[in-house]
Amino acid sequence: MRSLLKSLGRHFLLGLITLLPLGLILYVLALFLRAAESIMGGLLADWLPPGWYWPGMGLLSGLLLILLAGVLAASWVGPLMGRWVGRRVSRLPLLGRVYTTLHRFFSRLGSDTPAGFREVVFVPLQEGGGRIGLIVDRQPLRYGADGRALVPVYFPKPFQPGGDFELVPADRLEHCKLSVDEALGLVLTGGLARD
């Protein structure tokens, strides 16, 4: 009976871990759809003659606007406009720094590897054991008076969307034979989803 309860608890937790990301995606999508209808619908209701607006037009126009922005960004016009806007906005105090940071972040998200991560590493701890981390950029940074090579590493945390970012000495990193997807699956589920 005890092993049955333990098995049920483990499967329940694994099911929760499996469904939570999907629930979060659906929640964010619902917020986006509601906001698109509210904002664009309000604009359309003000611009269109009385009786022409019907519910859903705001959402449809928001989706079309995003699609048009994507088509423009993929054409030869997109990079030109992006550079032009980027140069102007980046000169603004405070807002320019925020824009530049967000632009770099979202550019990384669009790369071939998840969130721009390059490699999975194992970082041994002095007490024994260690942590699995993801290298953000293999090019080490030089810090301190001795100019030590420090590599930027992201350490995801189990059962939560956040993690830690640390600069780790290059000589402490050990290469792992896990793919980025395997490492994220292992760490984010606390080892529960391990094959």
Domains of the chain listed by start with CATH number: 2-75 (no CATH), 80-110 (no CATH), 115-188 (2.30.30)
**pLDDT at site 144:** 63
pLDDT tens digits, one per residue of 57-78: 888 888 888 888 878 777 777 7
Residue 159 contacts residue 151 (beta carbons within 8 Å): no
**pLDDT at site 108:** 59
Per DSSP, the three-state class of 156 is strand
Question: To the nearest 10°, the Cα dihedral for 89, 91, 95, 100?
Answer: 70
**pLDDT at site 111:** 54
Q: Helix count (H) and strand count (E) of the chain?
A: 5, 6
Mean pLDDT for each 10-residue chunk of the chain (195 residues)? 76 72 80 83 83 83 83 77 78 78 64 62 87 81 75 83 82 85 77 63
> Is the pTM higher than 0.75?
no
**pLDDT at site 152:** 85
